[in-house]
Structure 1
């Protein structure tokens, strides 16, 4: 069965449960999921796409304005030979609603507010990933990690955070990856801010680069740190602690485990290692896939880990951080943003060795 057929089978079950005759999909991450990795956005930083997908009990439609229709058909979905294209004039936006109502008789649900339709959450439908998605996200993880290593090894003292962000963007885009999140911090900004958007601050001795990279709609997250000169004992102690916390979170991300229980083990590790309040200063991550985080896990989060679900934990202790993307499977989770030519810290847990990225010392 094709990937898009698997997705539409899940969608039609949702239609049956909701007694609806159609689902209108416009959010760009849902559109990418349902179409097997196709894009409907114009603005990179927007969540709502410029083109919609309408799935009914028997057919599938692309609903696009006269601006978007030519590109969507030629470059995105046309080759699939699966979708019926419905086009409305860009200067008559209300025509889109009339098209949807005509096809569905007005009985439709939607993933973002549109007309009087009820909004539904499609997150439960996105997992488990299909075989094709697993192949794509593993390839993305390796590519994103290599981009990160190449750029971090090129950083020199005196580079501004914006220059580093530009280098990172060039590397990602050159490999077909959109940077959905790109954070860079130098020196004191690593200690002061958990979400350091890049500025004209010049790096002197210490740099942190954080990315969420998107390709074919799927996303992975990676963080790496670079230090010029000898790493001082305080940073070394903190980093050894944070990679152990990260390893504990990864180790416990097994199919069927409760999200809140996994986080509780991470919080206990912070306490055991002498940093009891650090987890409160930043979220610890959560499942990724079609968003940089599908949701961030907190102590009250409900639900359990699914099979073939990508997850990115990101524990931090002031001045350092550890973050990679893993994929759950039959047994232990697999790190899909692996290091290639990068120093690592070995963390042993229950007889298993987790190789977590160290700070690159230059």
Structure 2
């Protein structure tokens, strides 16, 4: 299968003023290319990320932990949507209001089904598909990821705003927290602030000093102590911002600043490896070499996932051995190198959402100028906030 993104060159010439209906049309053209690539008559989209991408940010869930309440059958002519009848009116009037033109002209058609019916039985709500060759997200995974990799200009603007606001929420919370604040309290403040900005907190992590060895620290009732990490993954309009920040109380321990600096150097090596057309698996090789080059154990890369492409999934996909994807212009990434000094019980991590341009330049999207920074390889990167 080819990884060419159908319609990418044409789509990148669009401006941020592109209407939602025009954005839908650009994405539909890419998906027609996917149909050609996999030799199918229709493509069934079932995941939250793929559906929200195509439908220009529509919320397609009820439970954050549940499956979407609709499915989209993409044909060469348009988009057929099967949706539970108890949700259909709301979806049309609220989540798809920005696509009213496409609904009116038949480019997008809703097919309400009983709330107890099987929305995955596509032929039951769109009988014409009964004899078609249908592809699903699993069988078209690689070209489908390529189709949504290059963000359109209005998507970049929406993503930039979400990432900036997510960074601001972290600054606000960590500027007022104390060593006695519990991890639950910090997570509650972060979640509430994100929700107030219209974003869904899909991941909230908080790590006090006593839990530095755990790299995915779900919040507990324990206090933050002298050094703490906070992580948010916030979704709005389907796009997901990924940001990590650290706060420290009092003077750093011996070696603490050096550990923070070393993980930033690992990240700088990753950013330097990003270029359109580079294999994502080759980026992993850069990551594997970067850890020992900057004083970490050679196996440090294997002790936590390293992030990867970003956008409408938390990672789309993660960088991992054998991953077949290549990098695309105007693609978002969120790498998260981590390290741990077992002798002192100190952890280190850096994570921001970035955009890689056509020339390989990397723009950090999740910046708040109020946060203390240090220049690393010509780019402002976050320091630990000292309180």
TM-based fold match above 0.5: yes
Match of 2:237 in 1: 216
1:301 partner SS = coil
Matched, 1:165 2:187: yes
Deviation per CA, 1:73-111, whole angstroms, max 9, x where unpaired? 110114412122211222444795444451323315253
Q: Are the aligned partners of 1:64 and 1:87 in contact in 2 as well (CA < 8 Å)?
A: yes
Alignment CA distance shift 1:162-1:110 (3 Å): farther
Deviation at 1:197, TM superposition (A): 0.6
> What is the correspondence of 1:260-339 to structure 2 with a 5 Å cutoff?
260-276=281-297, 277-318=299-340, 319-331=347-359, 332-339=361-368
Distance 2:120 2:295 in 1: 61
> Which structure 2 residue ranges, 5 or more long, are not aligned?
1-17, 103-107, 341-346
Q: Are the aligned partners of 1:37 and 1:218 in contact in 2 as well (CA < 8 Å)?
A: yes
Distance 1:238 1:182 in 2: 24
Alignment CA distance shift 1:64-1:244 (3 Å): same
> Which structure 1 residue ranges, 5 or more long, are not aligned?
113-117
Alignment CA distance shift 1:6-1:89 (3 Å): same
Matched, 1:343 2:375: no
Q: CA RMSD in A?
A: 2.0
Mean Cα deviation higher: 318-327 or 264-273: 264-273
Alignment CA distance shift 1:337-1:23 (3 Å): same
Match of 1:232 in 2: 253
Match of 1:141 in 2: 163
Match of 1:86 in 2: 111
Alignment CA distance shift 1:88-1:200 (3 Å): same
Q: Are the aligned partners of 2:84 and 2:119 in contact in 1 as well (CA < 8 Å)?
A: no
TM-score in terms of structure 1 length: 0.91
1:148 partner SS = helix
Determine which of 376, 379, 385 is the counterpart of 1:354. 379
Q: Are the aligned partners of 1:243 and 1:345 in contact in 2 as well (CA < 8 Å)?
A: no
Alignment CA distance shift 1:63-1:303 (3 Å): closer
Alignment CA distance shift 1:269-1:127 (3 Å): closer
Deviation at 1:57, TM superposition (A): 2.1
Deviation at 1:176, TM superposition (A): 1.0
Match of 2:216 in 1: 195
